[in-house]
Every structure is written in C-alpha cells, then in structure tokens.
Amino acid sequence: MADGIDSMSAALEEYEQTASARLLRETSKSEAVVHNIADGVIVTGLDDEVLVVNAPVERWFSNDDEATDPNGEREIDISNISELIRETAEDSGNTVHSREITIELPGQIRSTILHARATRVENDGGEFAGVTTVLRDVTAEREIDRMKTELVSVVAHELRSP
C-alpha cells in the first residue's frame, strides 16, 4: 500500500510540474506578445491600478527616465486616459470606447496623437476584472490628412481666382 501511495504521490508531483511548466510557457508567450506589440497596451485592474504596460506606453507616459517606483520600474502617468478607462469600467455593455489624445514628448517638436480604444475585461463569471486599453500612434496619418486638406484648399482657391 505504501508503494502505491508513493507511486501516486510521484505521479501527482510530475503532473503538477508539467501543468506548472505549461502555465509558465503560456504566460511567457502572452507577456512576450504584449511587450513586443507595436501599439501601446495598458491593462488596469479593479481599482484603476495599472497591472500591465508595454514599451510604447512606458515611452509615451513615463514621468521621467529617472523616476522609478519601489520595484525599480518607471512610474506611468495615465491621467490623460483615466477618464476613458473609468467610463469603460462603468459601462456594463461590451462597448469599445475610443478617444484621441494628444501628448507632448520630451525632445520632440510636434505633439504625438494617440488613438485610444478601451474595452472592459470580465472574468469567467461575467464579473468586472479590469480594462484593457490599446493605444495607436496616428500622428503621421493626421499630418497627411492636414496636408491633403491644405492642398485641396489651395487648389480650390487657385481655380476660383487664377
């Protein structure tokens, strides 16, 4: 009987190790995807606590290159999009909330325009778990739109009064 218990214990331990390894691999893959995606990603929890950010978000929203929290990570100031996150958290539907924000980056002449899209995250039981916000840099697209509008305006003016 002792051999059977030892055998079952060894099998259970082996199962736990493989399940843990599988979970670690999946978590690693998910983290790698989030951290290497070109768009910015912010995941906030129940109390608007920032849980996950990737490199673009750190670049756009870090207060200072030297400012770090007690864990050695850069402090992130997401006050520009906190209203969007709060609005999304309070909406019980599956609506995607979006907004454009303009930020000033140190060392850059022009403002950076970001298109933010936030969605509510729910757990398996349908309870609110947080908000995921994806930010895309649309500065170049807005600049092209502005140039196109100016060109059309100039051409229209020249056609009216040559």
- pLDDT score recorded for residue 72: 57
pLDDT by residue for the chain (162 residues), tens only, comes to 777 777 777 777 777 677 666 766 677 777 777 777 888 999 998 888 888 888 888 888 887 655 455 555 667 888 889 899 999 988 888 789 999 999 888 888 889 999 999 999 888 888 888 999 999 999 999 999 999 999 999 998 888 886
- pLDDT score recorded for residue 137: 93
One-letter amino acid at 114 equals L
- Residue 130, exposed/middle/buried by CB under 10 A (0-12, 13-18, 19+)? buried
Q: Using the structure block, give the residue that is written with the tokens 């989030």.
A: 34
99 Cβ contact list (under 8 Å, min separation 6): 81, 84, 115, 116
Whether 116 contacts 81, CB under 8 Å: yes
Whether 118 contacts 100, CB under 8 Å: no
Phi/psi of residue 116, nearest 5 degrees: -105, 135
- pLDDT score recorded for residue 78: 83
